Structure 1
Amino acid sequence: MELRIQHLSKQYSNGVQALNDISLTIPAGMFGLLGPNGAGKSTLMRTLATLQDADSGTAHLDAIDIRTHKDDIRRLLGYLPQDFGLYPKVSAYDLLEHFALLKGIDNRKERKEVVEALLHQTNLYNVKNKHVGGFSGGMRQRFGIAQALIGNPKLIIVDEPTAGLDPEERVRFHNLLSDIGNDKIVILSTHIVEDVADLCNNMAVINKGQVILKGQPLPLIDSIQGKIWKRFIEKSELTQFQQNYSVISSRLTSGRTLIHVYADHQPADGFTQAHGNLEDVYFAAMAGLLKTDVHVNHNSNVRVA
């Protein structure tokens, strides 16, 4: 199972170029699509989910053309959009059964088995008779995954699934996603770096409608080791350091400003080397400092191009 995206572009009527020549090959397993709000992630997800057409380019799930065979794709698709509306006064069981019926599971016994299995899988069985309008944010997201899994889809798209979740629900949701299985393509679209670091074997960074980095998280992290430097500074010094060095991030730590700088060698006295992580990879890519395509070929040899 493989999803091949080739030269997808999309411009909206207001002139915004949401996608600009996007090309990606996504294998089975968890794939992270990382980028800031407004980067084009949701546009790409809606296009792959057959909710809108691109202006140009193609996308194929194995041999199936997503643009010309929408019904075939929809039979294989599970989708959890960023804004997932629910009927608030319907119980979780009844609403999931309704979705199963819409998905084509006409046999009542089979539908009951599917619904109950999914409620157990998402840890919602004990609240199956509760109205979904009374669900917490995490419960709503788990219900969203339950409906996305109806029909045993081969392509699952989840768009910003952990935004707004508390830490406990976020961990629970991560565990749920990791259990979905490696025989499916699961695209996790998010602006949260930790989600990709925790879950994904392959990833891409998208910004302003373009793919600016793609590869596997661990080789990407390895590629920046020795190039990330840290230093505590006064907040008033930040602008000066940004002018003189390639500052990729700054944050308050215990009331002090900690900066990370991308450089091949120690930028100046006072800097110490930091162990780079996926957040550093992301910020370096967003700053235009990292344009490395790191991946593993079929012989599992890392290639840096």
Structure 2
Amino acid sequence: MKLVIENLNKTYANGVQALQNVSLEIPTGMFGLLGPNGAGKSTLMRTVATLQDADSGSIKLGALNVQSEKQELRKVLGYLPQQFGLYPKMTAEVLLNHFAVLKGITAKKQRKELVAFVLQKTNLYEVRNQHLGGFSGGMKQRFGIAQAILNNPKLLIVDEPTAGLDPKERNRFYNLLSEIAENTIVVLSTHIVDDVKELCTQMAIINAGNVVLQGNPIQLIEDLKGRIYQKTIRQDELANYKNSYQVISEKRFLGKPLIQIVSDKIPGDGFVAVDSSLEDVYFNQINIQN
């Protein structure tokens, strides 16, 4: 099964064109949607999740027309938005049971077994009777996934899921998503490059409402191989280097600017060749667009 998005457009009432002819083909497995804040990622995710309508274009999940068969899509959809609220005085088990009822699982025994299963899968079973108000950020994110997979979804959408998580919780979340993606289409929307590098076999970069690049992360990194150079410079030289070279990123090293450039030929001028990375792929595309 594939999620196929074709020529999707969305313009808000204030005139902001959030999506511009977005087309993507997403197979079973983990798919990364990478882009800066305000790029259109959340707009695209909300549209696919039937929370808002596109102005034009089409979305299909297998043979299912997402826009005209919204209720059918919701039966096979799991969705974890960027921000979601919980009832702090309810326990994880009680609230998941409530969500299961809302998802149409009415048989008490089946519901009990299902809630126990997703609690085990998200490593929350031991704290199932703890109030959600006492959960850490990572535990809340795992609870969000637990409610999203109650209906054994064919499509799981997660929007900025690891923002604010510590490294341990982040790795735990990675492992959980990877396991789910073995049999499910998982769309991971994020601005964190490492999320995509660690998890996804296919990806796309979106910026200003446009899909500017898509493909396999390893292949995209390979395409930049031998073209990335870096150099430490003085702060007062930065503007000149930006005028002379295609500078894709700048950071601090021992208090001085460290710039990276893309060049098809050896630039000389003190630049040193370095291995390409997915971060370079990302910054290169964003800088081309800007």
> What's the TM-score, normalizing by structure 2?
0.98
Q: 2:113: which partner in 1?
A: 113
Per mean C-alpha deviation after superposition, the further-off stretch among 234-243 and 115-124 is 234-243
Matches within 5 A, 1:186-225: 186-225=186-225
Q: 1:138: which partner in 2?
A: 138
Using the alignment, how far apart are the partners of 1:240 and 1:131 within structure 2?
57
Q: 2:156: which partner in 1?
A: 156
Using the alignment, how far apart are the partners of 2:35 and 2:237 within structure 1?
28
Using the alignment, how far apart are the partners of 2:29 and 2:49 within structure 1?
18
Please provide the CA RMSD for this pair: 1.0
**Is residue 280 from structure 1 mapped to residue 280 from structure 2 by the alignment?**
yes
Q: 1:295: which partner in 2?
A: none
Q: 1:268: which partner in 2?
A: 268
Matches within 5 A, 1:99-110: 99-110=99-110
1:181 is displaced (CA, Å) by 3.3
Q: How many residues were matched structurally?
A: 289
Q: 1:12: which partner in 2?
A: 12
Following TM superposition, where does structure 1 have runs of at least 4 consecutive aligned residues deviating by more than 3 angstroms?
none
Q: Show structure 2 runs of 5+ residues with no match.
A: none
Deviation digits for residues 100-148 of structure 1 (CA, Å, limit 9, x no counterpart): 1111111111111111111111111111111111211111100000011
Q: Secondary structure at the match of 2:96?
A: helix
- 2:132 maps to a residue whose letter is V
Q: 1:246: which partner in 2?
A: 246
Deviation digits for residues 41-74 of structure 1 (CA, Å, limit 9, x no counterpart): 0000000001010000000001111100001100
Q: Secondary structure at the match of 1:26?
A: strand
Deviation digits for residues 176-214 of structure 1 (CA, Å, limit 9, x no counterpart): 111113221000000000000000000000000000000
Q: Secondary structure at the match of 1:237?
A: helix
Per mean C-alpha deviation after superposition, the further-off stretch among 255-264 and 205-214 is 255-264
Using the alignment, how far apart are the partners of 1:147 and 1:238 within structure 2?
49
Using the alignment, how far apart are the partners of 1:269 and 1:79 within structure 2?
50
- 1:12 maps to a residue whose letter is Y
**Is residue 23 from structure 1 mapped to residue 15 from structure 2 by the alignment?**
no
Using the alignment, how far apart are the partners of 1:139 and 1:99 within structure 2?
17
Using the alignment, how far apart are the partners of 1:264 and 1:272 within structure 2?
14
Using the alignment, how far apart are the partners of 2:240 and 2:138 within structure 1?
42
Using the alignment, how far apart are the partners of 2:234 and 2:175 within structure 1?
40
Q: 2:88: which partner in 1?
A: 88
Q: 2:229: which partner in 1?
A: 229
Q: Is the 8 A contact 2:28 2:181 kept in 1?
A: no
- 2:63 maps to a residue whose letter is A
Q: Is the 8 A contact 1:266 1:272 kept in 2?
A: no
1:257 is displaced (CA, Å) by 2.0
Per mean C-alpha deviation after superposition, the further-off stretch among 217-226 and 245-254 is 245-254
1:267 is displaced (CA, Å) by 1.9
Percent of paired sites with the same residue: 58
Using the alignment, how far apart are the partners of 1:105 and 1:221 within structure 2?
45
1:153 is displaced (CA, Å) by 0.3
- 2:170 maps to a residue whose letter is R
Per mean C-alpha deviation after superposition, the further-off stretch among 196-205 and 266-275 is 266-275
Using the alignment, how far apart are the partners of 1:2 and 1:118 within structure 2?
25
Q: Secondary structure at the match of 1:117?
A: helix
1:235 is displaced (CA, Å) by 2.5
1:84 is displaced (CA, Å) by 1.1
Using the alignment, how far apart are the partners of 2:10 and 2:45 within structure 1?
12
- 1:40 maps to a residue whose letter is G
Q: Is the 8 A contact 2:30 2:187 kept in 1?
A: yes
